[in-house]
């Protein structure tokens, strides 16, 4: 059975950072805080804060304004303005501690803030990460979003490849069950030298970086960038 330590480059770089549309099965280390700032074309922007109060537990708060073209309606995204999301992730298995895979459960809830009586949205992810070797990780991410009478479900598949010092290549695709569009994302992540700061540059058709936005795809692609800073232990 493969077993990796916390000294592996990929583990150090991205153990607790989510992908562009998929969720990682890892959590922050206890006492660690992650600040994430993101933006992209079609007026998409977001800010996220995550904190780990204990081993294998992470709590999160997010603000995001989805960005989409005319192929996506307000009915698809449960609103058209800035929305909040809050929730937690619990890691159940950790490959770096000798388990066969890393597995977690993540639950987020929120709503559009610009409309009185807007519909609340629940998001559930069950991310699984398998570290093939020190350079490559594979991701399987069953997930759903529920609001009103709408249930959107998908199966996310992805890879994370450490191809050079400080650089990772990420590719993700989520087939949506029913009549939803395939959601995809492809790009790179760079760790600034001698820091715990990361910059993502990517292309995607997802209308957002978090929650329901990662399950709704527009007809064309758009560009995005994210800055992440890990602080603490």
Q: How far apart are CA 27 and CA 100, in angstroms?
A: 17
Half-sphere exposure of 82 (CA within 13 A, CB side): 7
Q: How far apart are CA 22 and CA 139, in angstroms?
A: 8
Taking the complete model, does pTM exceed 0.75, yes or no?
yes
The total number of structural domains in the chain stands at 1
- 25: domain CATH number? 2.40.128.130
What's the confidence (pLDDT) of residue 81?
A: 87
What's the confidence (pLDDT) of residue 9?
A: 44
- Domain of 27 in residue numbering reads as 9-231
Instruction: Quickly tell me which residue has 């600040």 as its tokens.
Output: 35
Residues 6+ apart with CB under 8 A from 7: none
What's the confidence (pLDDT) of residue 170?
A: 98
What's the confidence (pLDDT) of residue 2?
A: 55
| Chunked mean pLDDT (size 10), the chain, 233 residues | 49 77 96 96 95 97 92 86 96 95 98 80 97 94 95 97 93 95 97 93 97 95 96 82
- Is 205 domain-assigned? yes
The tokens describing 216, both together, are 């709704």
What's the confidence (pLDDT) of residue 233?
A: 66
- Is 3 domain-assigned? no
- Is 89 domain-assigned? yes
- Is 22 domain-assigned? yes
What's the confidence (pLDDT) of residue 226?
A: 98
CA angle 26-3-5, nearest 5°?
A: 65
């Amino acid at each position: 059975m493969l077993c990796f330590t916390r000294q592996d480059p990929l583990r150090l770089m991205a153990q607790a950072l989510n992908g562009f549309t998929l969720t990682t099965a890892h959590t922050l280390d206890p006492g660690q805080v992650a600040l994430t700032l993101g933006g992209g074309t079609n007026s998409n922007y977001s800010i996220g804060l995550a904190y780990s109060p204990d081993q294998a537990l992470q709590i999160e708060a997010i603000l995001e304004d989805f960005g989409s073209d005319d192929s996506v309606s307000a009915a698809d995204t449960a609103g058209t303005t800035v929305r909040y999301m809050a929730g937690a992730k619990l890691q159940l298995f950790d490959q770096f501690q000798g388990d066969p895979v890393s597995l977690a459960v993540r639950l987020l809830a929120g709503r559009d803030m610009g409309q009185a009586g807007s519909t609340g949205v629940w998001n559930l992810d069950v991310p699984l990460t398998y570290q093939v070797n020190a350079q490559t990780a594979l991701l399987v991410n069953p997930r759903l979003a529920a609001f009103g009478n709408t249930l959107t479900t998908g199966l996310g598949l992805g890879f994370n490849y450490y191809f050079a010092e400080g650089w990772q290549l990420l590719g993700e695709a989520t087939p949506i069950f029913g009549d939803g569009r395939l959601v995809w994302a492809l790009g790179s992540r760079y760790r600034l030298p001698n820091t715990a700061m990361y910059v993502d540059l990517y292309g995607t058709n997802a209308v957002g970086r978090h929650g329901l936005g990662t399950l709704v795809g527009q007809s064309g692609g758009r560009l995005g960038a994210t800055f992440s800073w890990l602080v603490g232990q």
